[in-house]
């Protein structure tokens, strides 16, 4: 069986893995960091060429003999980013990212145009939130009018990497659903949403053709092959957003499975054979990158909370975890609202980080440290509650992301969510998902069609020895603290929404 490569273009870095599908092991991994442009208006941007530079750096560190054996590539990318191209394929403006909150006014304009939030949920299935792509396009139209006139193609981050590799512009349904321009029930572009962006121009002509998840986006060009040192002509799969690829990499491809990711952002998502629309609008009604649906909750601040707190107290990761673990569950009433980047769920684009619940006795380093950890999980517990309310029952949580490496955090997830936690043996779930989707694509292009479920069953292995089961006493204690947390969340709504 062949060697396939997975590329993950994340917020902080690009990662590349080479996976031997016969030996079922990763043969090489590499990583290169990205910069981030941040402004006080909530802007969070990157230059697309930084991703290419990082990808080149990653491939340059891989053994040339191994690169020559790569048979297919799959690309994962941070969701929702707006990559505007002119007619020659040049990027017109820095990429506004998923955590950019400068488009709140555009969100309101599109929502009003669409007839309000109930209408959006009824027809397209998703609200218009600052993280999504749609308001970024309208922002570009309103703030960069001359550049907007030159706009010829709208891509998402992983689509742009596919374009650089193949010269072809495509989009698949999973990442496309995160634009808020797709009717997720019919899996087709919403005419009225496109008209809300620009009623004088056919925005659909700016969007690339939609392809099914198992289809190739194109083949590696001679130029890209020469630059990266890989074979020309090998297929590049459709790819997908990082959460969609993470679902593949953790085996969340069949109805009822659930994954939680503890990274810069926090996500909880589950595979579903039918669209799941949350009437409260907390769960995003996304499509998957496997041909089904992937209802998902995303918070913009997850490991952000622990990282800024750890730096404040000048602690290493192990020291920080130890300090937090010494505080009791609930941190003696100290609660953190970790809205350092604003927040998407709840929809608090003007959010700021808060510490509340102090008295004369509980204002300690260990309580603040524990509150930082707990807040990230409480934010995702809101999503789990929504899944349960909609009749989606999960038997376990598959945990990925940087936070999954912490035993303290793993046990906390199990106790807060009252579910067993398991950890995949391959922790780079998004890049691994890209590699497995590439294998799926390769099988189809070579006339050996198979299912993504079969591929996942063969290649995704869960390390249950690193898992955790809920402790009943801890479950009860966290439940009380979580109710306290939700009171504070609702209290700050008038300030941050």
Handedness of CA 76, 81, 86, 90 (dihedral sign): negative
Whole-number Cα distances in Å, 337 to 195, 304, 345: 37, 12, 12
Nearest 5 degrees, angle CA 248-CA 260-CA 300?
Answer: 110
Which residue, among 89, 206, 196, 106, has the nearest Cα to 154 in the 3D structure? 206
Q: Return d(Cα 369, Cα 327) in angstroms, integer.
A: 8
Q: Return d(Cα 479, Cα 339) in angstroms, integer.
A: 21
Q: Where are the alpha helices (DSSP H) in 124-183?
A: 133-143, 145-150, 157-166, 173-177
CA 243 from centroid of its chain's CA atoms: 4
Which 8-state DSSP code applies to residue 492?
A: T
Which residue, among 193, 290, 277, has the nearest Cα to 243 in the 3D structure? 290
Output the six-digit token pair for 117. Answer: 């939030």
Q: Return d(Cα 38, Cα 157) in angstroms, integer.
A: 18
Catalytic residue among 159, 242, 278, 415: 242
Q: Return d(Cα 13, Cα 472) in angstroms, integer.
A: 39
Cβ-Cβ contacts under 8 Å for 486 (sequence gap 6 or more): 378, 382
Place of tokens 């949580």: 397
Q: Where are the alpha helices (DSSP H) in 451-496?
A: 452-459, 472-491, 493-496
Output the six-digit token pair for 152. Answer: 């010829």
Whole-number Cα distances in Å, 44 to 35, 94, 130, 376: 11, 10, 11, 21
Q: Return d(Cα 248, Cα 85) in angstroms, integer.
A: 29
Is 242 among the catalytic positions? yes
Whole-number Cα distances in Å, 165 to 213, 228, 425, 456: 18, 10, 29, 25
- Kindly calculate the radius of gyration of the chain based on its CA atoms and give it in whole angstroms: 22
Q: Tell me how far apart the terminal alpha carbons of the chain are, to the nearest angstrom.
A: 52
Q: Which residues have a catalytic role annotated?
A: 242
């Amino acid at each position: 069986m062949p060697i396939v490569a997975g590329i993950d273009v994340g917020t902080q870095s690009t990662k590349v893995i080479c996976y031997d599908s016969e030996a079922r092991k990763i043969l090489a991994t590499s990583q290169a960091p990205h910069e981030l442009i941040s402004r006080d208006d909530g802007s969070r941007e990157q230059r697309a060429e930084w991703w290419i530079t990082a990808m080149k750096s990653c491939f340059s560190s891989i053994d040339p003999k191994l690169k020559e054996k790569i048979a297919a590539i799959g690309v994962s990318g941070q969701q929702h980013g707006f990559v505007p191209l002119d007619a020659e394929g040049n990027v017109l403006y820095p990429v506004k990212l998923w955590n950019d909150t400068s488009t709140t006014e555009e969100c309101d304009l599109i929502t009003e145009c669409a007839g309000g939030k109930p209408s959006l949920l009824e027809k397209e299935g998703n609200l218009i939130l600052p993280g999504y792509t749609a308001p970024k396009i309208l922002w570009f139209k309103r703030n960069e009018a001359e550049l907007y006139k030159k706009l010829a193609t709208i891509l998402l981050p992983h689509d742009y990497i596919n374009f650089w590799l193949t010269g072809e512009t495509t989009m698949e349904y999973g990442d496309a659903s995160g634009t808020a321009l797709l009717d997720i029930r019919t899996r087709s572009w919403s005419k009225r949403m496109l008209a809300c962006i620009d009623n004088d121009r056919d925005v659909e002509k700016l969007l690339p053709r939609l392809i099914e998840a198992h289809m190739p986006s194109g083949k590696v060009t001679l130029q890209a092959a020469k630059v990266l040192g890989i074979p020309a002509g090998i297929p590049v799969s459709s790819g997908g957003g990082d959460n969609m690829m993470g679902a593949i990499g953790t085996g969340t491809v069949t109805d009822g499975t659930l994954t939680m990711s503890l990274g810069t952002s926090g996500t909880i998502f589950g595979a579903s054979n039918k669209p799941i629309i949350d009437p409260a609008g907390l769960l995003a009604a996304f499509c998957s990158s496997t041909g089904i649906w992937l209802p998902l909750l995303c918070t913009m601040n997850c490991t952000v909370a622990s990282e800024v707190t750890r730096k404040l107290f000048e602690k290493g990761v192990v020291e920080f975890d130890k300090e937090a673990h010494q505080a009791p569950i609930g941190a003696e009433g100290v609660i953190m609202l970790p809205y350092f980047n604003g927040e998407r769920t709840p929809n608090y684009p003007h959010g700021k980080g808060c510490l509340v619940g102090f008295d004369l006795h509980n204002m300690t380093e260990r309580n603040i440290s524990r509150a930082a950890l707990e807040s990230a999980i409480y934010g995702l517990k809101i999503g789990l509650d929504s899944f349960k309310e909609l009749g989606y029952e999960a038997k376990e949580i598959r945990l990925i992301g940087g936070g999954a490496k912490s035993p303290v955090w793993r046990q906390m997830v199990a106790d807060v969510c009252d579910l067993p936690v398991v950890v995949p043996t391959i922790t780079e779930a998004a890049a691994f998902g890209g590699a497995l989707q590439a294998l799926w694509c390769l099988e189809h292009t070579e006339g050996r069609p198979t299912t993504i479920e079969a591929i996942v069953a063969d290649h995704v292995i869960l390390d249950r020895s690193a898992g955790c089961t809920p402790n009943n006493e801890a479950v009860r204690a966290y439940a009380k603290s979580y109710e306290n947390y939700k009171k504070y969340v609702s209290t700050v709504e008038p300030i941050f929404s």
